[in-house]
């Protein structure tokens, strides 16, 4: 195929150890993509019967994808440590490696049974402790501003990898003919003016007045600002943010009234998606501060998130901070 392939493109980007890690991750996600595409034909649909560290039912595919990524990242030899939505504790995979990774192996897993888009989200940091020993908490509890590489794989109508190493965002599509990722969306820029808002509006009664007023604003008729905007919500963060990244829009998972934390996890959901959106020219905030500047204090902490195109972010934050 007459396009740059994913490994070639990333090798050209610099660090060979980081490249090895990302290639191993992509190989693992090819296996996940195949499983997701064929899920109805095998015995991997449904619950395992156990719950994870967040008290949520673990789907068989959550469990399997977590094992696949652990194996592939161990084989990379350069991924030192691993934290996942599905593991309570951090894991040392290669003591000699210099990077750590935080992953949500299968985000939006409640959509597995209905063939809607789901994804794998990842965020890579350089470890702070010296290579040679086990990884420690500080290696993972780093701000999003220190991210070395982040992105997501989306298993949708096609399988794509959206990735940034801090120099813009590129999108690769998995070619099913030869099972390789090829550059299909170079230098993705998020439209500055979005017309889509994505939120679980069924929870509106639990939201603060400022946010409810913003939702009303989105639904008002106004020619100058092209309102009403369209409400689009899949219930899969990767699917919702991917659409908004390409078409322009805002995704919100807020904290409920009187709380400060939302549902989504800081290390392996909010930070990597914020890194991508900022690198594409958009914005991401917890309602008060830039997500990438939050100092994480717990591997599985949750965070409210407002993320998207500049016009909608500025407007939403104006309403919620009134
Ligand atoms: P998961 O990581 O357990 O799949 O949960 C995260 C998902 C997100 O993908 C999505 O945005 C959100 O949960 C939807 O939550 P809700 O059903 O409350 O709207
Ligand atoms: Mg998730």
Domains and CATH numbers, the chain: 6-185 (3.30.540.10), 196-320 (3.40.190.80)
Q: Identify which of 263, 269, 304 to mutate to test ligand 1's pocket (most ligand atoms within 8 A of the CB).
A: 263
Please tell me the distance between residue 15's alpha carbon and the centre of ligand 2 in angstroms: 28
Residue nearest to atom 14 of ligand 1 (CA): 235
Confidence (pLDDT) at 223: 96
Confidence (pLDDT) at 13: 66
Q: Identify which of 55, 57, 107 to mutate to test ligand 1's pocket (most ligand atoms within 8 A of the CB).
A: 107
pTM of the model: 0.96
Contacts of 159 (CB under 8 A, 6+ apart): 29, 30, 33, 37, 153, 173, 174
Please tell me the distance between residue 269's alpha carbon and the centre of ligand 2 in angstroms: 6
Cα 145 from chain centre? 15
Query: What number does the ligand 1 atom closest to the CA of 118 have?
Result: 9
Confidence (pLDDT) at 12: 61
Ligand nearest to the CA of 108: 1
Ligand nearest to the CA of 266: 2
Nearest to 255 by CA among 210, 230, 286: 286
Residue nearest to atom 18 of ligand 1 (CA): 200
Q: Where are the beta strands (DSSP E) in the chain?
A: 47-51, 57-59, 79-84, 91-92, 99-107, 118-126, 149-155, 159-164, 170-175, 180-185, 196-198, 230-231, 250-253, 283-285, 305-308
Confidence (pLDDT) at 10: 77
With a 6 A CB cut-off, is 273 part of the ligand 1 pocket?
Answer: no
With a 6 A CB cut-off, is 154 part of the ligand 1 pocket?
Answer: no
With a 6 A CB cut-off, is 204 part of the ligand 1 pocket?
Answer: no
Query: What number does the ligand 1 atom closest to the CA of 54 have?
Result: 3
Q: Identify which of 116, 120, 237, 255 to mutate to test ligand 1's pocket (most ligand atoms within 8 A of the CB).
A: 237
Query: Mean pLDDT, consecutive 10-residue segments, the chain of 322 residues?
Result: 87 84 98 93 77 76 94 98 95 98 94 93 98 98 97 97 96 97 97 97 96 98 96 97 98 93 97 98 98 98 98 98 93
Residue nearest to atom 17 of ligand 1 (CA): 235
For residue 209, report the phi and psi dihedrals to the nearest 5 degrees: -60, -40
Please tell me the distance between residue 13's alpha carbon and the centre of ligand 1 in angstroms: 33
Distance, CA of 172 to CA of 5 (rounded, Å): 8
Please tell me the distance between residue 235's alpha carbon and the centre of ligand 1 in angstroms: 6
């Amino acid at each position: 195929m007459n396009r740059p392939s994913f490994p070639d493109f990333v090798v050209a980007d610099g660090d060979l150890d980081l490249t090895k890690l990302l290639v191993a991750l992509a190989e693992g996600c090819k296996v996940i993509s195949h499983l997701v595409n064929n899920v109805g034909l095998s015995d991997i649909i449904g619950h395992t019967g156990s719950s994870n560290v967040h008290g949520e039912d673990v789907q068989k595919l959550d469990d399997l994808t977590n094992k696949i990524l652990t194996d592939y990242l161990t084989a990379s030899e350069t991924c030192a440590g691993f934290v996942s939505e599905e593991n309570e504790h951090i894991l040392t995979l290669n003591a000699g490696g210099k990077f750590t990774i935080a992953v949500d192996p299968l985000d939006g897993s409640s959509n597995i049974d209905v063939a809607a888009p789901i994804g794998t989200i990842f965020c890579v940091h350089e470890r702070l402790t010296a290579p040679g020993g086990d990884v420690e908490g500080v290696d993972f509890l780093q701000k999003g501003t220190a991210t070395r590489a982040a992105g997501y794989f989306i298993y949708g109508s096609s399988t794509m990898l959206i990735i940034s190493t801090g120099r813009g965002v590129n999108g690769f599509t998995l070619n099913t003919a030869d099972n390789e990722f090829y550059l299909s969306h170079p230098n993705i820029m998020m439209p500055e003016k979005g017309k889509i808002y994505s939120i679980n509006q069924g929870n509106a009664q639990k939201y603060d007045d400022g946010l409810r007023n913003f939702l009303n604003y989105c639904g008002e008729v106004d020619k100058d600002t092209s309102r009403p905007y369209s409400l689009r919500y899949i219930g899969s963060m990767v699917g919702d943010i991917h659409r908004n990244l390409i078409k322009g829009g805002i995704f919100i998972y807020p904290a409920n009234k009187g709380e400060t934390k939302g549902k989504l996890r800081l290390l392996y959901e909010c930070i990597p998606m914020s890194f991508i959106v900022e690198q594409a020219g958009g914005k991401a905030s917890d309602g008060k501060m830039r997500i990438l500047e939050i100092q994480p204090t717990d591997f599985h902490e949750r965070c409210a998130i407002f993320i998207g195109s500049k016009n909608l972010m500025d407007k939403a934050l104006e309403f919620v901070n009134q």
